[in-house]
């Protein structure tokens, strides 16, 4: 099944008619003629205040280094801040990608290190007590005691770790992530979050679904339901701009249609921007600076079929997946 772009736009219009109109008529981004966009060589992102971002980057890097230096100062070498390090590194690669002062190679290092810290953090939490997690930092060997805790991870956080693992190509780490899912340790805040998780996993080939058409139809019925409160409309808007955009891209890839892939990716990038600019607080959240779900789709298409993108966007840095 195909998800027509005009249908997605109709849902977008119901969620936020003003922003949907901007999406259709924005002269510098894309124009819709006969319900299809005219492809452009570049798509602008919403990141603007680079001086401010440089200050955030510098402060985050300083904090990251200080935390790790503190771990180095502990004689027993049995303590390391994987969780805080992971969150710092995610901020560093997202912001660093936009800064002229940060080389692409540094962004790649932050990106790959973020994935490593995420997996080490999960191992530290979930491996049985009495076990140790070996780790080396700056040539120093650490042995971190496992905590043996049953921790729940929010589905969107878990998906970010999944995306990092796929893009870095460390497929052996997928086993731990899928194990946590099967053990029921991945939680979602809403019914829409559960649908989003199932759709993403199915389209990446990580979870079989007997009928993806039925799953999508139930998802659309859920986000279109009547009587939603303002609070409930927020995840529905995420479903329209993020979930359906990703589904459309992955469907084109599975159908081995490179033209449709490029068209759907262009639309999905527009919708990513819509989501991360619909609220003033979202605009400065580094989580929206790089689209991990679309970066993962681009990696999937490139690895499986050699597809490259006609559109250039800082939301999906090609140097992170074309390696």
Instruction: Output the six-digit token pair for 315.
Output: 């939301």
Q: For the chain, what is the HEC assignment?
A: CCCCHHHHHHHHHHHCHHHHHHHHHCCCCCCEECCEECCCCEECCCCCCHHHHHHHHHHHHHHHHHHHHHHHHCCCCCCCCHHHHHHHHHHHHHHHCCCCCCCHHHHHHHHHHHHHHHHHHHHHHHCCCCCEEEEEECCEEEEEECCCCCCCEEHHHHHHHHHHHHHHCCHHHHHHHHHHHHCCCEECCCHHHHHHHHHHHHHCCCCCCCCHHHHHHHHHHHHCCCCCCHHHHHHHHHHHHHHHHHHHHHHHHHCCCHHHHHHHHHHHHHHHHHHHHCCCCHHHCHHHCCCHHHHHHHHHHHHHHCCCCCCEECCCCHHHCCC
What pLDDT band is residue 41 in, cutting at 50, 70 and 90?
low
Q: pLDDT-derived band of residue 34, with 50, 70 and 90 as boundaries?
A: very low
pLDDT band at 208 (very low <50, low <70, confident <90, very high): confident
Would you state the pLDDT for residue 151? Answer: 85
The CA radius of gyration of the chain, in Å to the nearest whole number, is 20
CA angle 276–207–121, rounded 5-degree value = 65
Per-residue confidence at 154, pLDDT binned at 50, 70, 90?
Answer: very high
Q: What is the mean pLDDT of the chain?
A: 88
92 bridge partner residues = none
Q: Which pLDDT band, with edges at 50, 70 and 90, does 33 fall under?
A: very low
Instruction: Output the pLDDT for position 149.
Output: 84
Query: CA-to-CA distance for 224 and 169, rounded, in angstroms?
Result: 37
Span of 2-6, 199-203, 310-314 with lowest mean pLDDT = 2-6
CA 172, 174, 177, 178 dihedral sign is negative
Query: Model confidence at 209, in pLDDT bands (50, 70, 90)?
Result: low
Task: Please report the pLDDT score of residue 51 as a whole number.
Answer: 97
Q: Is residue 190 pLDDT above 50, yes or no? A: yes
Tokens of residue 1, six digits = 């099944």
pLDDT of the residue at 36 = 45
Mean pLDDT of 294-322: 96
So what's the pLDDT on residue 3? 54
Q: What is the pLDDT of residue 137?
A: 94
d(C-alpha 105, C-alpha 118), whole Å: 20
pLDDT above 70 covers a percentage of the chain that reads 87
Q: What residues have CB less than 8 Å from 270, skipping those under 6 apart?
A: 23, 29, 30, 37, 43
What's the pTM value of the predicted model, to 2 decimals? 0.88
Give me the pLDDT at residue 184, please. 94
State the pLDDT at residue 23.
35
> What does the pLDDT read at residue 40?
53
**What Cα–Cα distance (Å) separates residue 232 from each residue in 186, 212, 256?**
21, 24, 36
Residue-level pLDDT at 10? 54
Q: What is the pLDDT of residues 228-262, one digit of tens each?
A: 998 889 889 999 999 999 999 999 999 999 999 99
Name the pLDDT band for 29 (thresholds 50, 70, 90).
Answer: very low
For the chain, domain boundaries: 5-320
Q: What is the model's pLDDT at position 74?
A: 94
8 A C-beta contact, residue 268 and residue 301: no
Q: How big is the chain, counted in residues? A: 323
Residue 302's pLDDT is 98
pLDDT, tens digit (0-9, with 9 covering 90-100), for 76-106? 999 999 999 999 999 999 999 999 999 999 9
């Amino acid at each position: 099944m195909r998800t027509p772009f005009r249908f997605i736009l109709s849902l977008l219009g119901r969620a936020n008619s003003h922003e949907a109109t901007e999406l259709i008529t924005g002269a510098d981004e894309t124009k819709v003629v006969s319900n299809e966009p005219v492809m452009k060589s570049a798509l602008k992102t919403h990141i603007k205040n680079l001086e401010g971002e440089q200050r955030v980057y510098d402060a985050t890097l300083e904090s990251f280094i200080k935390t790790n230096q503190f771990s180095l100062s502990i004689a027993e070498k049995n303590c390391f801040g994987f969780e805080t390090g992971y969150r710092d590194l995610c901020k560093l690669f997202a912001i660093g990608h936009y800064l002229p002062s940060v080389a692409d190679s540094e962004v790649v290092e932050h990106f790959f290190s973020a994935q490593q810290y995420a997996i080490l953090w999960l191992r530290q939490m979930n491996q049985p007590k009495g076990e140790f997690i070996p780790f080396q930092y700056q040539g120093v060997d650490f042995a971190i005691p496992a905590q043996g805790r049953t921790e729940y991870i929010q589905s969107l956080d878990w998906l970010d770790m999944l995306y990092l693992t796929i893009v870095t190509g460390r497929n052996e780490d997928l086993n731990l992530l899928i194990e946590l899912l099967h053990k029921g340790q991945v939680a979602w805040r809403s019914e829409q979050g559960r649908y989003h998780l199932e759709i993403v996993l199915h389209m990446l080939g990580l979870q079989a679904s007997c009928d993806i058409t039925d799953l999508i139809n139930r998802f659309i019925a859920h986000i279109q339901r009547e009587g939603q409160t303002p609070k409930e409309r927020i995840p529905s808007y995420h479903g329209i701009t993020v979930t359906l955009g990703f589904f459309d891209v992955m469907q084109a890839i599975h159908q081995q249609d490179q033209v449709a892939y490029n068209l759907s990716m262009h639309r999905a990038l527009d919708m990513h921007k819509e989501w991360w600019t619909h609220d003033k607080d979202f605009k400065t959240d580094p989580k929206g600076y790089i689209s991990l779900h679309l970066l993962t789709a681009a990696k999937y298409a490139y690895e499986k079929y050699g597809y490259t993108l006609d559109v250039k966007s800082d939301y999906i840095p090609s140097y992170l997946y074309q390696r």
